[in-house]
Every structure is written in C-alpha cells, then in structure tokens.
Amino acid sequence: MKGHAHALLAGGMQALETLFPGFVENLADAGAVRVSVSIDSQWERPGYDVFPRRDLGISVYTMTRPLLESVVRKHFNAIPNIKLHQRCRAQQLITSEGGSRVTGVSCLHSDGKVEDIPADLVLDASSNGQLTLNLLAAFGLPAPEETTVGIEMGYATTLFEIPPDAPTNWKTAYTLADPPSNRRGALLMTVEGNRWIVSLAGSHDSKPPEDEPGFMEFAQKLRTRTIFNAINGARRCAPIARYVLKASRWRHFENLEKLPIGLIPFGDTICRFNPIYGQGMSVAAKEAVLLRDLLSASAVDNNGLHSVPGEFLAQAQPIIDVPWATATVPDFLDPLTEGNRPDDLDKALEFSTGLMKLAYQDPAIHKLLFEVQYMLKPRSVLRAPEIVERVQAVMAEA
C-alpha cells in the first residue's frame, strides 16, 4: 500500500527517534515537510469545520511512504549486526519439538532459491498474520479470539503538483465524514517534491473509484469544497491507487494459553486499524521500543528470551487501546458498521461530543485532546475527574 497516504503521528515519530537517534533530522534532510498539527492544518469535523488554529506545541512531518522507508533503511544499514534480505518473502515458520518452538523462517528469494534462516526469536509482522495462524492450525492449537469492526472502507490515492495559486494558510487538510448522511472523507498532505498526496475515503456504498473523472467527482461531493477546490485544475502526477479494507481487527494473542516459544506476533498481525486514522505505523514503532526495552532487560537479568513474548503481548495492550478506541467509537456512528457495539457506546459518543465542544473553547483541552490522538499521552488523561466534570458541564448547556 505504498501508493497511499501514510501518517506518522507524533508518538510514532518520537518512538523512531528513540530507536534511531537523528531520525527526525534525517527526515527533514530528505525533504519531509514539517507541519504544526493545528496551525498548519485545516481540520474539518462535522459541526466544527472551522476549528481554532492554535500553537499546541505538536509537530509532525509529512512525506510519502517511500521516503519514510528510505530513511528507516538508511538507519538499519548503519547497524553492523543487522542484515536485510531484499526481494525475499517469508513462506513458513520453522519449528522443532512438535511445533512447540519456532526456530527460524523459510524464505523464498526472487530467483526461486529457498533459504532457511535460523533464529532464536521470530516476529511475525506480516500484516495478515497468516504465518502464525498457519502454524497454530498445523499443530492443532487454537487461533486467538478476534474483535472485529466491519467498516467496509475503500480509499483511493494519487499525487498532484502543487499549483502556483495553492492555498497558503495550510499544509494539510482533513475532511471527516458525517455518516450516514455523507460517508465521504479525505486527507490532503504536502509531501516532498512540491506535491500533494490526496487520499479519498468512503465506506459501504460510498467508496471512491480509481478513474480520474470519478476521483474528482467524489472529491466534489465531500462535505466541504476545501480539498476539491485545491486539486481542481492541479496536474495529477501519479496513478490512482485504490484499496478496500473490510474490517478493523484486533487479535487477542495475549489470551492464548499456549503460543510456540520463540514467536512474537507484532504490528498489524496483532491489530489492523481503520486506515483513515493513520495509526498503524506509529503503533508498530511504539511496539518496537517496548520490545527493545524488554529484550534489554532480559539480557541484563540473564533470563533468556522465554518470558519476553508473554510480557510483550501483555504490555502492548495499552499501546493498542488508545488508537483502537479513537477509531472504533466514531466508526460506530455509522449504522452500517458491523460488530459488537460497546455497552457504553452512547455514553462514549456523548462524552466525545462534549469533549470536542470543550476543546473548541479551551486551548488547554484542545492540546490535551491532540496529545492523546497523536499518541503522546494515554487516553486515561481525558478521564481525569476535573476534565470529566467540565465535559459534563458543557454537555448540560443548552
């Protein structure tokens, strides 16, 4: 999905800087665009299409996925004990002791050669997690329980050259959908090379097409004309890429009684989010920091790797919880969204509405809300008693 817009949230950027000192500076040097998330962004939410521009002290960089990966690869290549196997696909997990231990990965190279790579610890970050699921099924072990939210989300993305008469008061623009009356949303980001990357998104019967006339017509039918007016007449400089995701999915590996030793499900293998919120890369980056810390502690304590997978899966839950709740609560606003709605959904939606109203009024709450959304602070800070009291007061207003 390299052709689509990918967001690196502030928490994810912070994690990558922790793993690779100098990472943010290298992003900027490579051409990534620095964006103040409130001052440089046009946020258009239902009911709040003109949100106050405030300096919240939070900045991110916007770029294409290939640029981001090139900077990550540069840092990887600078570490002497890391080897990248290029043009190589992991086919199967290698096991011993009747499937109770993972000892490596069997890989297929582009020239047809099969190579078995031994390992003391294997991370399955293969998105669909099929390697791990196949292994569990082969040895009669249960698959993890899954929480799914059927979003039926389609999105289409392309690049435009930024025209000379482009708006100068924002670098990114977000138009959020308002289901069920309008299921169309869009994201426009300024990226390297004086270009805009534009992703249109829609659910169920409102998915964007991949032809240019259909793309522009879809953009014209967004709730606001901000993004359409910007790209109307701009020169498209890339093909239109299209993708459909049926559901967000959280696999609860942490609840399995038995998982083969030496195996850690990771990233999208554990949880795949609704892509319109741009959370997946940042979650994976924060999980990588967690895993590094657990491995470092294990080495210091001389405990080996035996306890690391269980500790990782348990401690990854709070990392996943914030973006999962941030996405699924508004997703359930659409009556066509499938899945078990939380018992307190109505209260959560009401609280979210009150919190947005309070953030509109109060810069401090605005900042706190964005710190949670950008994965810099846990969701629990928004449930502090004094904030809950203020939200309730705002909700009680006529």
Q: How far apart are CA 227 and CA 242, in angstroms?
A: 18
Q: Are 379 and 190 in contact (CB under 8 A)?
A: no
Q: Report yes or no on 353 lying in a domain.
A: yes
- If DSSP codes are grouped into helix, strand and coil, which group holds residue 114? strand
Q: How many domains does the chain have?
A: 1
Q: Report yes or no on 360 lying in a domain.
A: yes
The mean pLDDT of 119-126, rounded to a whole number, is 93
Q: Are 252 and 160 in contact (CB under 8 A)?
A: no
Burial annotation 297-311 (CB, 10 A radius, 16+ → b, else e): ebeeeeeeeeebbee
Choice between 321 and 4, residue whose per-residue pLDDT is larger? 321
Helix (H) or strand (E) holding 67: helix 65-77
Q: Report yes or no on 326 lying in a domain.
A: no
Name residues whose C-beta falls within 8 Å of residue 252's C-beta, 6 or more positions apart in sequence: 144, 145, 146, 147
Q: How far apart are CA 50 and CA 53, in angstroms?
A: 9
State pLDDT tens for residues 2-14: 677 888 999 999 9
Name residues whose C-beta falls within 8 Å of residue 42's C-beta, 6 or more positions apart in sequence: 169, 170, 172, 173, 174, 226
Q: Are 276 and 179 in contact (CB under 8 A)?
A: no
Q: How far apart are CA 227 and CA 112, in angstroms?
A: 46
Q: Report yes or no on 375 lying in a domain.
A: yes
Label residue 1 by pLDDT band (50, 70, 90): low
Alpha-carbon distance values, 261 to 107, 238, 304 (Å): 20, 45, 12
Alpha-carbon distance values, 6 to 190, 324, 333 (Å): 12, 17, 24
State pLDDT tens for residues 71-85: 999 999 999 999 989
Q: Report yes or no on 351 lying in a domain.
A: yes
Label residue 190 by pLDDT band (50, 70, 90): very high
Burial annotation 328-365 (CB, 10 A radius, 16+ → b, else e): bbbbbebeebeeeeeeeeeebeebbebbbbbbbebeeb
Task: For residue 352, give its domain range.
Answer: 345-396
What integer pLDDT is reported at residue 288 of this predicted model? 97
- If DSSP codes are grouped into helix, strand and coil, which group holds residue 195? strand
What integer pLDDT is reported at residue 242 of this predicted model? 95
State pLDDT tens for residues 231-243: 999 999 999 999 9
Q: Could you identify the residue written with the tokens 């499938």?
A: 338
Q: Are 35 and 62 in contact (CB under 8 A)?
A: yes
State pLDDT tens for residues 355-367: 999 999 999 999 9
pTM for this prediction: 0.93
Label residue 116 by pLDDT band (50, 70, 90): very high
Q: Report yes or no on 352 lying in a domain.
A: yes
The mean pLDDT of 257-285, rounded to a whole number, is 93
Q: Report yes or no on 363 lying in a domain.
A: yes
Q: Report yes or no on 379 lying in a domain.
A: yes
Q: How far apart are CA 69 and CA 377, in angstroms?
A: 26
Neighbours of 387 (CB within 10 A): 18
